[in-house]
Structure 1
Amino acid sequence: MTNDEPLRPGAQPRIGDLLRSAAARAVPVVGGIGDASLGAPTPCAAYDVRALLNHLYGVVVHFQALAAKQSAELSTTTDWLADADWRDRFETETGKLVKAWSAPGAEEGTTGGMGLPARTVGTMVLLDLTVHAWDLARATGRDFTPDPVVVDGLVGEVEAMAPMARKAGVFEEAVALPGDATPFERLLATTGRDPYAPLV
């Protein structure tokens, strides 16, 4: 499977394969962000583009360790954009993330400080890579369409983790959408994002 080959519906895909497809959609979004856009607002009210990029960068890097059942200091603040080649490095780090979650046993057992099922932890980084790519595309005036199989792979897990995520302040309250909303728009709404709302 190449980096941009769509996943096939059917049996439950492995996290590594889902991440490979998600990375193929996210990397061009990040690579296309110009310096002039770094201060722009995003659908995540607490983050401008630069802050959201730093958050996503940290997730991509630290979740490599979690795939290997190692500890990761997720609260560490790093300016990943300090290096001039941060766009190329993001592609490199997402490649490492895919490799880490594609390793034998990566999605088995438990991992992370909360002792969560490894597949749930893998789903968390898959969600961040997918939803934050949309956030960044929206913030910089571009369209973003994830692989439908990635969306399918996220829906059940995200609905299950939503109450815990809202309690932790990671998700906002779900947004009501019209009946013709797409599965991805409904996924965004579950996280508290309104896919139709203008940025302010």
Structure 2
Amino acid sequence: MSKDITELFEAAGHRAAAVLDGIDDSALDSPTPCAEYDVRGLVNHLLHVVVQFQALAAKEPSDFATTPDYVADEPDWRGRFAKETARLGEAWARPGALEGATGLMGMPATTVSRMALGDLVVHAWDLARATGRTYVPDPDVLADIAPVWAELVPGGRKMGAFGEPVDVPEGASPLDTLLALTGRDPRWRP
């Protein structure tokens, strides 16, 4: 890995925030590659994930059971997302954040941090694709999360968090490979 955890979160957060910053309110009801979410729902989900993964970095309880409507409740939800992603990176950079286990399942903190990074990458792609924007993830972030997600996704699929893998051609890009692993079709269009 060529970047430390702070740099990885900074890179992933900036690129995800750029996608959210470009979402026009008129696109909030548009479909996304996540069939269960429209753009508004996915923005709410991603912002909630970013907030809850801060708690996990601090070894505090998290609550993924309900998702607030950040878009309706926060007039500057785009700005809040940028601030929360910066806080997320800071949370995982604190001493001890990557040590031990965290969360209800007692997963290794290093694995949980990569779950957060992966959510930033995958959902930024989802939102970019849904709104006709371009998204290019940081290559170091992709290289860092790929092996962790390769291990996590099959278990997550059994729990209903991911769809069945999608076939991609041999030599597909690292992003397309990750998306396909999570059940997303890299060729998806609205």
TM-score (norm 2): 0.96
CA distance in 2, matches of 1:15, 1:159: 19
Task: Indicate if the aligned counterparts of 1:188 and 1:194 stay in contact, CA closer than 8 A.
Answer: yes
Which of 21, 25, 32 in structure 2 is aligned with 1:42? 32
- Tell me the residue number matched to 2:121: 130
Matched, 1:74 2:64: yes
The question of 1:114 aligning with 2:105 is answered: yes
In structure 2, what is the equivalent of residue 55 of structure 1?
Answer: 45
Distance of 2:62 and 2:173 partners within structure 1: 35
- Per-residue deviation at 1:168? 0.7
Post-superposition Cα deviations, 1:90-137, rounded to whole Å, max 9, x if no partner, equal 111111111001111111100001000001111111111110000000
Alignment match of 2:94 (pick from 89, 92, 103) = 103
Deviations 1:34-88 (Å, cap 9, x if unpaired)? 1100000000000000000000010001110110011111112201112211111
Question: Are 2:49 and 2:116, in contact at CA under 8 Å, matched by a contact in 1?
Answer: yes
Runs ≥4 in structure 1, deviation > 4 angstroms?
Answer: none
Structure-2 residue corresponding to 1:4: none
Unaligned runs of 5+ in 1: 1-8
* 2:185 pairs with 1:185: no
The amino acid that maps onto 2:49 is V
Structure-2 separation of matches of 1:16 and 1:153: 13
Decide whether the 8 Å contact of 1:101 with 1:107 is kept in 2: yes
How many pairs does the alignment contain? 189
Output the CA distance in 2 between the equivalents of 1:20 and 1:85.
20
Q: After TM superposition, give the deviation of residue 173 of structure 1 in Å.
A: 1.1
Give the partner amino acid of 1:197.
W
5+ residue gaps, structure 2, are: none
Q: Which amino acid aligns with 2:12?
A: A
Letter in 2 for 1:118: A
Residue number in structure 1 paired with 2:15: 25
Name the SS of the counterpart of 1:181 in structure 2: coil
Q: Residue deviations 1:7-51, cap 9 Å, x none?
A: xx54xx443331111001111100111110000000000000000
- Aligned-pair CA distance for 1:197: 2.8
**TM norm structure 1:** 0.91
Over aligned residue pairs, what C-alpha RMSD do you find?
Answer: 1.1
* Aligned partner letter, 2:70: W
Letter matched to residue 51 of structure 2: V
